Amino acid sequence: MSKRDGWDALMVAAQDGHGGTYQRLLTEISQWLRRYFERRLPFGDVDDAVQETLMAVHRRRHTYDARYPMGAWLAAIARRKWIDQLRALGRRPTEELPGDLAAGDHEASVISATVLERLLDELRPAQAQVILLVKIQGCSIEEASHRTGQSVSAVKMNIHRGLGRLTAFIENSHDVE
């Protein structure tokens, strides 16, 4: 039985006045609602949508019919609240950005990333993978070993040989910046 199937029984018990069961139901559906709205709304509007939907569930809990799935009943309410949130988004005033707004220059970062990608392409995949993990992303040797399935000594050897190969490639290359 899935969690959503269990909601049916929880809602029936809540309708019969079991407060603890109702609290458990609200906790479970709020988690589901959070995931539902996170995929559909801007981050700042998720909490409001969850709260609005929980309030609607609370106000309409007497209308739930146990002959039908609780998940479908909840999804219908959530969908209506989602539409309400979208309408509210459309009515929000927007601010014009000033024309003299300074934006950082990302050219150096883009060039560096491109050069790094070209350099790593010169290596064997196992070497490139562990150099990226350990030297670029900051993973430990043990973590890189776990992520790649290579032994700790193989990770160390691939880093050493890969860096040596990169050094030789750079020394022999005239177009690498």
pLDDT digits (tens, 9 = 90+) for 42-66: 888 999 999 999 999 999 988 999 8
Residue 97's pLDDT band (boundaries 50, 70, 90)?
confident
pLDDT for residue 38 is more than 90: yes
Burial of 28: CB neighbours in 10 Å, binned 0-12, 13-18, 19+ = middle
Looking at the domain that runs over 118-172, which CATH code has it been given?
Answer: 1.10.10.10
In contact, 41 and 52? CB cutoff 8 Å: no
pLDDT for residue 1 is more than 50: no
0.85 exceeded by the pTM? Answer: no
Fold of the domain built from segment(s) 3-91: Rna Polymerase Sigma Factor; Chain: A (1.10.1740)
pLDDT for residue 109 is more than 50: yes
Q: What percent of the chain has pLDDT over 90?
A: 42
Residue 3's pLDDT band (boundaries 50, 70, 90)?
low
